[in-house]
């Protein structure tokens, strides 16, 4: 049985986020950014944040169901923070250490709500740099 959707925010370094994106790609999850796009645009030494929003069930793929659809706050090379989505397996998310205090989590959720989306940010940049799944 899967644990309930946590109401928390987890911090991950760029390398960890790339691993999560690779896992999502390996499983064919629908909400993810291409690993090569992330490598090109993420700030190498940044901390990024994951906030589980809802449980995503795939009846036709029980081996990877459920997934937790997370909002992610990404720091890109320009220093801006942008908003995206990432599907993560519950067991994978549970292995990410809990390192943030309550005030930090509230601040991060507020920043997620104010952040431009990956698409909006990409449209301001070179349109050729938009992620393609």
Residues 82-132 have pLDDT tens digits of: 999 999 999 999 999 999 999 999 999 999 999 999 999 988 876 555 555
Which H or E element spans position 74?
A: strand 67-75
Q: Which of 98, 84, 76, 74 is nearest to 9 (CA)?
A: 98
pLDDT over 90 at 44, yes or no? yes
The residue among 86 and 30 whose pLDDT is bigger is: 86
Encoded tokens for 98: 């809990």
- Domain locations along the chain: 10-129
For residue 27 the two structure tokens come to 């499983």
The dihedral through the CA atoms of 61, 67, 70, 76 has a sign that is negative
Contact by Cβ (8 Å): 63, 27:
no
3-state secondary structure 41-71: HECCCCEEEEEEEEEECCCCCHHHCCEEEEE
Specify the pLDDT at position 131: 56
Q: Report how far residue 36's alpha carbon sits from residue 52's, in angstroms, rounded to the nearest whole number.
A: 23
Contact yes or no for 118/83 (Cβ under 8 A): yes
Cα–Cα distance for residue pair 61/93, rounded to 1 Å: 19
């Amino acid at each position: 049985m899967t644990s309930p959707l946590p109401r928390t925010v987890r911090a991950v370094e760029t390398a960890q986020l790339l691993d999560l994106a690779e896992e999502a790609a390996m499983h064919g999850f629908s909400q993810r950014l291409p690993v090569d796009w992330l490598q090109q645009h993420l700030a190498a030494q940044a901390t990024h944040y994951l906030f589980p929003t809802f449980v995503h069930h795939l009846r036709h793929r029980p081996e990877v169901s459920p997934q937790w659809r997370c909002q992610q706050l990404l720091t890109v090379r320009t220093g801006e923070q942008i908003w995206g989505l990432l599907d993560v397996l519950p067991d994978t998310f549970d292995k990410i250490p809990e390192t943030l205090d309550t005030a930090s989590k509230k601040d991060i959720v507020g920043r997620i709500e104010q952040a431009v989306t990956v698409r909006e940010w990409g449209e301001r940049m070179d349109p050729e740099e938009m992620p393609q799944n």
